[in-house]
Chains A and B, each alone.
Chain A
Amino acid sequence: MSSKKVISLVLIVMLMGMLALTGCSGNKGEAPNADTAVGEVKVGVLLPLSGPVAPIGVTSQRGYELAVEEINAAGGIKALGGAKIKLITADSRGDAKIGMSEAERLIQSDKVTVMTGAYQSAVTYPSTQVAEKYKIPYIVPSAVKDEITQRGFKYTFRTCPPMGWYTKAQVDFAVEMGKKTGKPAKRVALVYENTDWGQSAATAWKVDVPKAGMEIVLDAPYPATSSDLTPVILKIKQANPDFILFTSYTSDAILLTNGIAQMKINSYGMAGGGGGHADPEYMKNTGKNSEYHYDLCEWSTDVGKPGVKETNDKFKAKYGVDMNGESANCYASMYVLADALERAGANDPEKIREALSKTNLSTTNAMIMPNTSVQFDETGQNINASLIMIQVRDGQRVTVWPESAKNPDFEAVWPVPKFEDRK
C-alpha cells in the first residue's frame, strides 16, 4: 500500500511540475523584466563554479568582475543616469540541466535583463535556449560549439570565434605568411590524435586546406597513447611537407616534437591548435626542440593592442595571476554590453537586444581582444572575432599574427630555420 502511495505522490508532484512549466511558457510575448528607471542593471552570470571545470569558471568570473568594476567606477551607464552594472552569479556546476534551471531562476526570480556565460558549450547551448524563450539577451563570450549560433536565435550573441574558425585560421595564417615572404606552403601534412577532437579538426582541415590551394600530402591519425610515435615521424619525413598541422595532447606532442627535431625534418612551419601544444609541460619537456613552433590560441598577455598590458597588470594586482583567454573574453564582453546599454537607453531586454544587434564597436577595452571591432551578423555571431598565432621564441610564447594584434617586438619567422642551422 505504502509504495503505491509513494508512486502516486511522485506522479502528482511531476504533474504539478509540468503544469508549472506550461504556465511559464504561457508567459512569453511580454518582457517581464523591463524597467526603465533604474539605479542598476542586473546581469545574470552563469558559470561552472564547482566541479571539475571550476577553475575556469572562477577565472571567467574574475574577468567579468574587473570589467564591471571599471565600468561602474567610470560613472556606470550614462544613458541610464549612471546606472551601475550588477553581476548576479549562478553556479551551473558544469551540468546542462542545472545550467538550465539556474538560467530560469536568474530570469524569473532575480529579474536579470541580460545574461552571459556559461563557458562550456554543453551548458551554453541549452541555457541560451532558456534565455531565448524569455526573450532575454544572452552574451556568449567563450563557448565555441558552432551550433550555438546556428539555431536562428535572436537573443544569443557570441563575441568569440566558433570552433569552425580555428582550422581556417591556421590555414589563413599559412597563406598569409606565404604571400608575405614569397615562400608559400604547398604541401601540408595533417597529424592528429585519432579521437573525437583530432578527427573533427581533420575533417575541417580537409575542407580548408584544398580550398586555400594547398595539397594534403599526409593524413596521419595516431593513437595518443602510443608507446612509439617514430612510425608517424617517419611518415612525415617521407611525405616531405612544407607545413605541418597538429592536434595533439601533451605526451604525444612531446614525443612528436622531440622526434621531428632529432630526425631533422625541416618545413616552413609547424602549427598546433592548443591542447598539448599550449601546455606549459610541453615547452618544459621539449626545450629547444619546440623553438619556432606555432600554436593557435584565443588570446595572450602580449597581444599588441592598447589597454592589454594595463588591464593585465590590474588583473594581476587584484588576483595574483595573469589573465588568460577565458578571463579576457569575459572581460571584453562586458564592454560590449556597456556599449549596447548606452545605445539602448533603457534597461529593457528588447531594447538591449536591438542595440546589441546593431553593435559596431571598435573602441573601449572590448578591444583587448585580437579583433579590431565587434559586429554581430543576423545569427548573433561576432563576424570580426579573431584568433591569434603564437610562435615559440627563446622559450617564450609570443603573438606574431594577425598583424593587428601581434607583439610589436617580434616578427613571425617563416620559413623557420633548418634544424641543422640552429645552435
Chain B
Amino acid sequence: MGTMTEATINGLFMGSLYGLIAVGLSLVFGVMKVVNFAHGSLLTICMYAVYYLVMKANWNSYLTPILVVPLLFIFGYVVQSKIINPVLKREFELGGGHAVILLTVGMMLVMENLCLLFFGAYYKVAQVPISSLTLNIGNIVISVPRMIAGIVSVILIFLLYAFLNKTDMGKAIRATGQDREAVRLMGINDFKIYNISFGICFIMLTLAAALMIPMYYVHPSAGKIFELRSFVIVVLGGLGSLNGAFLGGIIIGLIESVTAQFLSATTAEFLIFLVFILVLLLKPNGLLGKK
C-alpha cells in the first residue's frame, strides 16, 4: 500500500514537471502553428546552462533562473526573429509548405551536435546536497527535489495561464494565435509576438531545467527523452491548450509510475502510447482541445 501511495505521489510530481516542459511546445504551436521538433534540444541547452552555473559557480540550482531566464529569453527572442521568422514570412507569402518544420529539425540537429562538440558525450550529474534529501512520512519516502519540482511546476503553469488571460500582452499572444491577420489590423506586430512567445517557451524550459538538475543527468540527448513525452502530452491534452498540457502531463506521469507497479516499466511505456493512439482515434483534438 505504501509503495502504491509513493508511486502515485511520484506520478503526480513527475506529471506536473512533464506538463511544465510541454506547455512551451503547446504555446509555440498555439500561437505560430509550428510543430517545434527542436523542443527537446532547447531543453538540453537550458539544462547545460543551469548545470554549469551550479557546478562552476556554485549556485543553488533553484536560484539559477535569476540569471539564466533573462539570458535564454533573449536567446529565444533572437533565434525566433533572426532564424525562424524569415522562413515563416516566406511561407506566409508563398502559402503552404513545411519549411519551418524542417527548419526546427535542422536546429535540433545543429544544437545536439554543438552540445556533443562542446560538452562531450559524457553524462553529467550535479550531485548537490538536496539531491539525496528525502521526506519520510510513516513508511513513505518522498524525494525532496521531486516534490519541489512537482509543486513549483503547478505554480508556474498557473502563472503562465494567468499571464495569458489577464495581461494585455497575454491577450495579444492569444489573439495572435487565433487570427494573425485580424491582430495585424488591430496594430499588433505579429512577428514580435512570435518572438516573445518563443522567448516564453525558453523561460518555461529554463525553469524546468533548474528543477530537474538536482535529480537528473545532463547529456546531449537528455532533452530528447522529454521531448517524446511532450509530444504525447500535448496531443493528448489538445494542441495549443495549456490546461490540456497540464492534464496530459499528469495522466502520463500517473500511467508511467502507477502501472509500472502492477505490470512492468516496459508495459507502462507501451500503455502510454496505447492511450495516445486511442485518444487520437476517439477524440482527435485531444482531451481539452478546441474544435
B-contacting residues of A (Cβ < 8 Å)? Answer: 194, 219-223, 225-232, 234-235, 237-238, 250-251, 254-255, 258, 261-264, 281, 285-287, 289
Inter-chain contacts of A225 with B (CB < 8 A): 225
Interface residues on B, range: 20 to 34
B265 lies within 8 A of A262 (CB)? no
Contact A223 B269 (CB under 8 A): yes
B39 CB–A CB distance under 8 Å: no
Query: Which of B10, B132, B219 is packed against the most chain A CB atoms within 10 Å?
Result: B132
Give B237-269 as 1s and 0s: 1 = Cβ < 8 Å from A's Cβ atoms. Answer: 000000000000000000011101100111011
Closest A-B pairs by Cβ, 4 of them:
A231-B260, A222-B265, A285-B125, A238-B3
In the assembled complex, B52 has its CB within 8 A of some CB on chain A:
no
CB distance from A197 to the nearest CB of B (A): 14
A137 to chain B, nearest CB (A): 41
Are the CB atoms of B217 and A238 closer together than 8 Å?
no
Cβ-Cβ contact count across A and B, 8 Å cutoff: 91
B residues adjacent to A (C-beta < 8 A):
3, 6-7, 10, 14, 18, 122-125, 127, 131-132, 134, 141, 143, 146, 216-217, 219, 225-226, 229, 256-258, 260-261, 264-266, 268-269
Whose C-beta in chain A lies nearest to the C-beta of B1? Answer: A238
Q: Using CB atoms, name the residue of chain A closest to B144.
A: A262
A226-B269, A251-B123 known; A263 and B264 CB under 8 Å? no
CA gap between A258 and B145 in the complex, in Å: 13
Docked CA distance A273–B225 (Å): 25
Report whether B229 and A232 are in contact in the complex, using a CB–CB cutoff of 8 Å. Answer: no
The complex places the Cα of A237 from the Cα of B139 at a distance, in Å, of: 11
Residue of chain B at shortest CB distance from A238: B3
- In angstroms, Cα B125 to Cα A287, docked, is 10
A227/B141 in contact, CB under 8 A: no
CB distance from A240 to the nearest CB of B (A): 10
Q: Decide: A221 near B265, CB < 8 A? Known: A230-B257, A251-B219.
A: yes
Contact, CB under 8 Å: B257 / A281: no
Q: B265 to A223, Cβ gap below 8 A? A: yes
B96 to chain A, nearest CB (A): 35
The reply to whether A264 and B269 form a contact with Cβ atoms under 8 Å apart is: no
Residue of B nearest to A221 (CB): B266
Q: A194-B266, A255-B217, A264-B141 are in contact. Are A250 and B7 (CB under 8 A)?
A: no
Instruction: Collect the chain B residues with CB atoms within 8 Å of residue A234's CB.
Output: 3, 6-7, 10, 257, 260-261
A227 & B225 in contact (Cβ 8 Å cutoff): yes
* Interface of B, helix, strand, loop or mixed by DSSP: helix
**Are A230 and B10 within 8 A (Cβ)?**
yes
Instruction: Report whether A262 and B225 are in contact in the complex, using a CB–CB cutoff of 8 Å.
Output: no
Q: Which residues of A contact B132 (CB under 8 A)?
A: 258, 261-262, 289
Expressed in whole angstroms, the Cα–Cα distance for A225 and B269 within the complex equals: 10
**Minimum CB–CB distance for A308 against chain B, Å:** 30
Partner of B261, one of A221, A231, A289: A231
- Specify which chain A residues have a CB less than 8 angstroms from the CB of B269 in the assembled complex: 223, 226
**Bound CA–CA A219/B122 (angstroms):** 30
- Whether B265 contacts A232 by the Cβ 8 Å rule is yes
Chain B residue at minimal CB-CB distance from A285: B125
New contact pairs (17) apart from A223-B266, A238-B261, CB-CB < 8 Å: A221-B265, A223-B265, A225-B225, A228-B10, A228-B14, A228-B256, A230-B14, A231-B10, A234-B3, A237-B141, A238-B3, A251-B123, A251-B217, A262-B143, A263-B134, A264-B141, A285-B123
Given A226-B225, A230-B14, A255-B217, A220:B131 Cβ within 8 A: no
Query: Contact between A222 and B143 (Cβ–Cβ < 8 Å)?
Result: no
Residue in A222, A227, A287 whose CB lies within 8 Å of B266: A222
